Amino acid sequence: MTDQLKRAISAAQTARINDQQAEATRIASSSAGDQTFDMSESSYKTSHTAIRKARRFAMQGLYEWLVTDRRFDIDGKLGWKANAPHDIAARTRATNAMHTVHIGYYHEMMRDIPEQIEALDALITQHLDREINKLDTVEHAILLIGAYELQNRLEIPYKVVLDEAMKLNNHFGATDAHKLINAVLDRMAVELRALEVEADSKANLRTSQKAAAKPAIKANKNTDNSADSDAGSVADHSVEENPTASSKPRISANNASVKRNSASKAAVNISDFKASKTAIATDSTDKNSTDVKSKD
């Protein structure tokens, strides 16, 4: 065996040992709860869809944590705690295809929400009509994510937070649970995002005012058009009520080919016509009397 081959085998063995030591260190740090997560893990998707999938995995992870370690902690059974959030996250990543999930945001929620659980539960309780332990676990997990985003993720619009909570409930929750979730998060938004909610309300008011003003303008236009049509119909009636003296087409005064009789000449023609009629009647009378005399 040559020296070069020996050196290659030795380097490979050293690299394998180093990898094993690094993996053991990572597992030990994970078990100790010292794991850190990078929100901008560039090897994974960071789109809106990837963030939505991160919420879904976080909701399932928080549900699992709430029914195990969190419940044992509340009941005082500390010896049973063996399902920490970082263990749930590690197990989820090992058993699911996470290449389309925003891993950084998923790990952030799985780390920060359990750490802030007391404050977030107090915030939720202010807007509940029942004790928080009476909530369904799925509803509780969804409200925790919504409260966390409203309080800590100010770059996400509050309407998006509410909409995403509704989508989580449609996917995992009960049929009528959206009423409670929407009511609680809506009141919470008024408290935590007061300026944003106020600005949105003003924008909606302006939009509604503009929408209400448009039909009024159209109505005025229709009124004007009807007035114009009424005026036109009145004008038509006035034309009809005052017809011209003759229904015959007018002849232009400049048309020299048309000869017109003057009024005096027309009167002479009429008198001549009457005279001729009188003469004819007289002649017929005289003739009749002559015929009678000759018979006698």
Q: Which of 121, 62, 49, 53 is nearest to 89 (CA)?
A: 62
- Residue that wins the pLDDT comparison between 295 and 93: 93
* Bigger pLDDT: 90 vs 21: 90
| pLDDT tens by residue, 151-164 | 999 999 999 999 99
Interatomic CA distance for residues 51 and 41, integer angstroms: 13
H, E, C per residue of 110-156: HHHHHHCHHHHHHHHHCCCCCCHHHCCHHHHHHHHHHHHHHHHCCCC
Highest mean pLDDT among 1-10, 151-160, 194-203: 151-160
Q: What is the pLDDT of residues 48-100, one digit of tens each?
A: 999 999 999 999 999 999 999 888 887 777 666 788 999 999 999 999 989 99
Which domains, and CATH codes, for the chain? 26-115 (no CATH), 117-215 (1.10.940.10)
Q: What pLDDT was estimated at residue 51?
A: 95
Greater pLDDT, 240 or 139: 139
